[in-house]
Amino acid sequence: MRQQRGVALVTALLVVAVATVAAVAMATRQQMDIRRTGSLLHSEQAYAFSLGAESWARVVLARDKRDSKIDTLYEDWSTQPPVSVVEGGSITGRILDLQGRFNLNNLVDGNGVADQDAIARYKRLLRRLELEESLADALADWIDSNIDVRFPDGAEDETYLGVAPPYRAANRLLADVSELRLVKGYEPDMIDKLRPFVAALPEVTPLNVNTASAEVLSTVAENMSLADGKSLVETRGEDGFETVAKFTQQNELSGKQQLTTAQLSVESDWFLMVSEANIGLSRARLASLIQRTDKGTLVIRRQREFREPVVAPVPEADE
């Protein structure tokens, strides 16, 4: 009888132990499911807030198109807004004028034929940034529609088929600046150096002289220096140049072969909205390429991963 009671006690203890382990496992899994669900909800909520920032950008840009004939860096759309506190987190973002940068796809015309003037401008920008001019010919070959190698520094299929893994030249417009990593000669540090001054827009675009940096402005004519570019930035001030003609009449451009008025502008149609939302432990980043026309705004592309800083970098103080 005692032996039977002992067996019953051990069996009861085993049952209790198994039940306890099962209960702990179920509770642990439930907690993990709750946290996973919460994380997914926060992630979706953060992305929804990023889309809200995109909608805000479209409204601001459309209103600016209606109220202003020029675009400068001192208008509402260009101002870095403060961090917005939302339920459970925060969101911040800013709008960038991509026509204030050198459009890499301008290296070819609308028919995919290399544009020699644009290539010369790009080489001037490369020199300004202390990069090799040979990068221009390699990129022009990557974008143009033919398979002929530019002399002496171009690169077509025969160059890229010899690497591991092999691939072919795109022979089409760049989809994004990050595509430069595939082009002959472009190293990550070079691309990082170029990134603040270049864009990859889906069409040939004029340069907005009211939003371009001193480095980019110093490429619009031959034999210009960075000091000339800085002088043009200072001259335009907060109000900007009202017309392209007023820009081309500046002393810094006098007597120099410069871009035609069709290659310059005082307003922009292409912008990038970058935003970041943080909800709980989740974060959502969004870069929206926005085209603005007389009829409104259109989102051309969205990216969840990008390199543009969401908060405007603080310029380094001159030594």
| pLDDT (0 to 100) of residue 33 | 64
Distance in angstroms (rounded) separating the CA atoms of residues 166 and 146: 19
Question: Residue-wise pLDDT tens for the chain (319 aa)?
Answer: 655 666 677 777 777 777 777 777 777 777 776 666 667 888 899 999 999 999 999 999 999 999 999 999 999 999 888 899 988 899 999 999 999 999 999 999 989 999 999 999 999 999 999 999 999 999 999 999 999 999 889 999 999 999 999 999 999 999 999 999 999 999 999 999 999 999 999 999 999 999 999 999 999 998 899 999 999 999 999 999 999 999 999 999 887 776 677 799 999 999 999 999 999 889 999 999 999 999 999 999 999 999 999 998 866 654 4
Phi, psi of 131 (to 5 degrees): -115, 160
| pLDDT (0 to 100) of residue 2 | 56
Structure tokens at 221: 């004519």
Structure tokens at 195: 């990134």
What single letter denotes the amino acid at residue 208? N
| pLDDT (0 to 100) of residue 3 | 59
